[in-house]
Amino acid sequence: MAAENLLEHETGGRPGRGQQAGPGQQSRRGEFSLRETAQLAGVSHNAPYRHFKSKTALIEEVLQKTLVDIGEKILAAPLFYPVSLQLQIQHVGRNIMQLAWRSPKRAHLLFSYQNNDETTPPLAAAFELAQQNLVIVLGESHDLRADSPLDSLALQLLAGWRGLALMHSSGLHGAQIKSEEDLFDLADAMAENILKSFMH
């Protein structure tokens, strides 16, 4: 059973206007047990335990896979837009916003996760890899000034995407974001504003 499928049952999506949470989605302060997750997924109550020792292990595996996927998309961006760093970065931002729009709960878990001493090494490495891949793409561009602080620029971009994803997944955007395209437009504008300070 794929961890992503279990997590979708584990967390559900953020209910929209007029949409109710699914059965069991608000038990015990809004949290699921793995037993409840298995029930919603239509598998035996022992199935999750055959693959994951705990709910935290399930969530960390999904987040690790999500980060690795984001890291791969970052490195692939120059293949789609070889002559424009701005388009490359906007492409990455749109991929992250697509995750936020289509899997808001997963995006919320990803961008609100506390990376600390208890974080498993594979998950901590996946966070670091995504950031380093962004630094690589920025460093290979001829659009930036030679003195551009690549680590700082990468952090600014990641912080902006994180903020937009959390704003959406938390429902704090009001009526400004009505579609995935609205989220893309905000991410595009944010990336453009951050990059222009460092461009030739």
Q: How many CB atoms lie within 10 A of CB 150?
A: 16
Domain limits of the chain?
1-52, 54-196
Please check whether residue 194 is in contact with residue 157, taking contact to mean a CB–CB distance below 8 angstroms: yes
Question: Helix, strand or coil for residue 14?
Answer: coil
Angle value at C-alpha 155, between 142 and 159, nearest 5 degrees:
125
Exposure class string for 167-196: b at 16+ Cβ within 10 A, else e:
bbbeeeeeeebeeeebbbebbbebbeeebe
Q: What is the pLDDT of residues 19-67, one digit of tens each?
A: 333 333 333 333 556 676 666 556 777 777 777 777 777 778 888 889 9
Which residue from 87, 23, 32, 20 is spatially nearest to 59, judged by alpha carbons? 32
User: Among all chains, which residue has been given the structure tokens 């961008």?
Assistant: 111
Please check whether residue 132 is in contact with residue 140, taking contact to mean a CB–CB distance below 8 angstroms: no
What is the pLDDT at residue 188? 97
Question: Helix, strand or coil for residue 80?
Answer: helix
Distance of CA 12 to the CA centre of its chain: 16
Please check whether residue 150 is in contact with residue 139, taking contact to mean a CB–CB distance below 8 angstroms: yes
Which residue from 169, 172, 119 is spatially nearest to 11, judged by alpha carbons? 169
Amino acid at 42: G
Amino acid at 10: E
Q: Tally the residues of the chain.
A: 200
What is the pLDDT at residue 27? 37
Over its length of 200 residues, how does the chain's per-residue pLDDT go in tens digits?
455 554 554 444 443 433 333 333 333 333 556 676 666 556 777 777 777 777 777 778 888 889 999 999 999 999 999 999 999 999 999 999 999 999 888 888 888 877 666 667 888 888 899 999 999 999 999 999 999 999 999 999 999 999 999 998 888 766 778 899 999 999 999 999 999 999 98
What is the pLDDT at residue 196? 94
Q: Does domain 54-196 sit in CATH 1.10.357.10?
A: yes
